[in-house]
Structure 1
């Protein structure tokens, strides 16, 4: 096909295609594959967290009526404060076993609607807040066979609905914001961390009509302070002294990026960990433009944002650099992959977050390659067939796939006769690094075994096999934290490229590489991480390491 005919074809396709389309990107070869894993988990995957036993805890709200999965052994949830069923014998939380591809119902007592959470250093999931009777509840889930939720009714000081959690270097969580909560608190409590502490920045970024500062984007910076982004602004915050250390510039254009305008954000992989000041780049993508939420409330659905903003938050004079995505997207999830690329997935091209507020599902994921030159960082991937709109989620699995679930753009479960039916399925998106054609370049870690303990600054050996020829200059060791995914933000998501030596031959198709664990907790809080060997951007299956 001639260049002129190709341009004409792409122009006509753009007019006919119901999804946003950008010729300069779509003309590139798409990659990745989709697989349906579970037709029905019984609940909507509003919240997801991978734990270090390779099981994923999934939660949905409790106040809409029955789910599609029964509690086991005739159990029923009896809650006089519930707004729907006072006696409910269905589950609103499940555990997904990745290896067995199986679902186990769990008993969550209080309402977890629009709640938050993060895994602790011991691997347990601490889950906080929600709606109604759940707004001050702390829930704990241990990753063990047959375990279930344990709840502390007044574990929080303030109501936490649409808040954000993050693990801190000393091993406690910070819980930031929530609806009408311009403050933060900690769990567990301790002297100096035992109150609700005012955070005026949340009030300053609050739009009384649209809010747009809920589920703020929070990352632990390498200096031990917290980067907190709300609406269209960000600060660096010292959580120990309760003081703002730095104010960052507003994102160019001033469009809101947090719920309900709902873009997404990641901290790009941390590298060169031996440097005195480690570069830390934050990437914020998508969302709805100014006024988009009010327009959607009034029945007018405007196009989502097509821009990303990137900034080195440790630069002497930090400034946002703008980039253009090939597809506009609101309610998208951003998942850091083992090779350092970012998968942008789920969401719609029109409207905002909120029930019945989104339109035009974006079915194609996009891969962002942060080390490429500007203009060559985005690559459109093959589409799914299942729209993933409001209340969908995505999380990285240990084998490198991205687990995708959820979508319930209405207040109750409805499977027929609506624009976007309730979606109870789980899918896996396999990036192109899992294609059979590159299997010869894929490492396989044979030592150490999963669940190994490593200490800060420790040099340790990794032995791996490789069927094909090793390119010694294109191999690295990475660590990725498991994150809590909800409402287009993955809390506590973190990726590091470890300092490592050149790989050496240990036997036939077998190699050793020595890596050094992060030197201090500001780089990586103590917890479980997935560790990968990556060869020519193709990762091994990850092993679990406990950093302490």
Structure 2
């Protein structure tokens, strides 16, 4: 660990020397950060609200620029009308007052410098999508117990919901306070309240290699609501469940006291091949992100046990894309690099050397990450193309206001290809807060969100009710179909994730600062406790009778080193093909599915015409393709999945 801290610390000092703006972000040196493990920050407002960027006041170049050149990378009307001059990251002043050279800086809303003035590449508009022949169905099945801000499928097959400190939930704990987390059992559709110690408002998370669910970061304590909950900005929370030990069910979150090295509200997390966790971005205090000193565009490394190495290191793609720098999309690729996307920009990042390997052209269209998040999925991996990654990003919006249009366009890129470029497609309508979830048959489902507005309290309208089904194996222009529609608005603070039985659990929508149960003119969309299940096409109608059954795995402790194991199962008469999917659902929040991935594994042994099958299955070659942690194995026969089984991958 000392070597890691020394390496990070050296780069920390180097990058601070390069960027005066980043230097203002970090009030401790590498040495003091290592010693204390906690980065100081300006005080939080300790309220239940959030800052709102608002609509840009002008899309024209500012005529009142002073000619005074920035010294920290801030500029424009809110920063004494300074100009960017030859600021090393770029000389366009963005609409929110940061210097850079991306389309987010130089395009619509550019205040001064070489504005693009409408010359940014155009993204496609909405594309009609035919109805799916088998659209699936939504059904309300239960009550969540708590607002579902964060969620994850646990190794016991239950779903954990994690929320911020609220003045009302459906469950009270033994101490008389409301529960802000619940363990929901899809078998009974009942929640059990769980306690935690620190406010997890807008946290990030992942799974540790041993299968423990992890939540990091959060926001300030709200003593006037609950004096038993502490400061969550540097919080690290653990929840352990097991597929074999039912005594763990219902046990509360564990917080032994280890902390992040710096405050993080809205961080993203990715588990790496060696079991360490890459934690990136966040706010230092939950205040206005157009003010440089409030922001934390850095990363830090947690050990496989969830302890910080003690140093927060500035990350240039985050520094450069302020204020659209929080909750970046991150995907681990087969070569060990990270694909990182924020705002409209993306890169390959080498965590081991702390360097940018490659940058990509900006994705045309609007902003794609918080507070105008769309959704991102790493499409299914397989050995057929040497585990090459194919990444898709859909939706987004123009600015953080209820009047913001939303973006119907999608970009798809193969970031390890020599000629990597964005392939553009579009959904039937613009959608913000839309989230993509992989399905075991290889398709993806896009749910939730709005047609107008942005993330934030009371900032969305035009809920989008329809499921959108994406089949990436079809030709461009034929990949989208429309599925069933719900009647429940799923706006800010909603979640969707795959269950063991192959259905999707859909919950949440809490677009108010504190729970409101009755709609009004002031709050037309209120706190939603109803839990739905969406049944995908592959389980709808007669497909429900085509499930493989009697699944038996030779081992549930698997290693990503090309080892083999066997899977036995029974198939319906006349079955033609079988696939084995290795599936990780990740940490779900704010339409970001952290760590989410699926790989189709190589198999041998299929016997045509037999109803009893036993396949030999080959694991992925390394932890870059399948990082350590809990996974679900789905047997998929002719597109229909059996009930999945949890395995532990190391």
Shared fold per TM-score greater than 0.5: yes
Q: 1:123 to 1:314 in 2, by over 3 A?
A: same
Q: Distance in 1 between matches of 2:313 and 2:340?
A: 15
| Counterpart position of 1:15 | none
1:252 matched to 2:364? The reply is yes
Deviating beyond 3 angstroms after TM superposition, the runs of 4 or more aligned structure 1 residues are 21-24, 26-30, 189-194, 449-455
1:237 matched to 2:349? The reply is yes
Q: Distance in 2 between matches of 1:127 and 1:268?
A: 25
1:75 matched to 2:175? The reply is yes
Deviation at 1:344, TM superposition (A): 0.2
Q: 1:432 to 1:28 in 2, by over 3 A?
A: closer
Deviation at 1:439, TM superposition (A): 3.4
Quick check: 49-58 or 535-544, which moved more? 535-544
Deviation at 1:145, TM superposition (A): 2.5
| Contact 2:273–2:627 (8 Å) recurs in 1 | yes
| Contact 2:131–2:482 (8 Å) recurs in 1 | no
Three-state SS of the structure 1 residue aligned to 2:199 is coil
Q: 1:288 to 1:450 in 2, by over 3 A?
A: farther
1:399 to 492, 496, 501: 501
1:201 matched to 2:317? The reply is yes
| Counterpart position of 2:237 | 139
Gaps spanning 5+ residues in structure 1: where? 1-20, 77-88
Q: 1:248 to 1:502 in 2, by over 3 A?
A: farther
1:45 matched to 2:148? The reply is yes
| Counterpart position of 1:218 | 330
2:624 to 522, 525, 530: 522
Gaps spanning 5+ residues in structure 2: where? 1-124, 221-230, 242-247, 284-294
Q: How many residue pairs align between the two structures? A: 495
1:326 matched to 2:438? The reply is no
Q: Distance in 1 between matches of 2:256 and 2:330?
A: 25
Q: Distance in 2 between matches of 1:22 and 1:283?
A: 17
Deviation at 1:335, TM superposition (A): 0.6
Q: 1:22 to 1:318 in 2, by over 3 A?
A: closer
Q: Distance in 2 between matches of 1:136 and 1:169?
A: 24
Deviation at 1:22, TM superposition (A): 7.2
| Contact 2:584–2:596 (8 Å) recurs in 1 | yes
Q: Distance in 2 between matches of 1:510 and 1:248?
A: 48
TM superposition score normalised by structure 1 = 0.86
| Contact 2:260–2:310 (8 Å) recurs in 1 | no
Q: CA RMSD in A?
A: 2.1
Q: Distance in 2 between matches of 1:463 and 1:189?
A: 33
TM superposition score normalised by structure 2 = 0.73
Indicate the structure (1 or 2) with the bigger Cα radius of gyration.
Answer: 2
| Contact 2:129–2:480 (8 Å) recurs in 1 | yes
1:165 matched to 2:294? The reply is no
Deviation at 1:531, TM superposition (A): 0.9
Structure richer in strand, relative to its length: 1
2:456 to 346, 354, 375: 354
| Counterpart position of 2:469 | 367
Q: Distance in 2 between matches of 1:356 and 1:26?
A: 32
Deviation at 1:154, TM superposition (A): 4.9
Deviation at 1:532, TM superposition (A): 1.2
| Counterpart position of 2:32 | none
Deviation at 1:460, TM superposition (A): 1.7
Deviation at 1:23, TM superposition (A): 8.5
| Contact 2:374–2:433 (8 Å) recurs in 1 | yes
Q: Distance in 2 between matches of 1:469 and 1:440?
A: 13
| Counterpart position of 1:459 | 564
| Counterpart position of 2:529 | 424
| Counterpart position of 1:116 | 204
Deviation at 1:274, TM superposition (A): 7.7
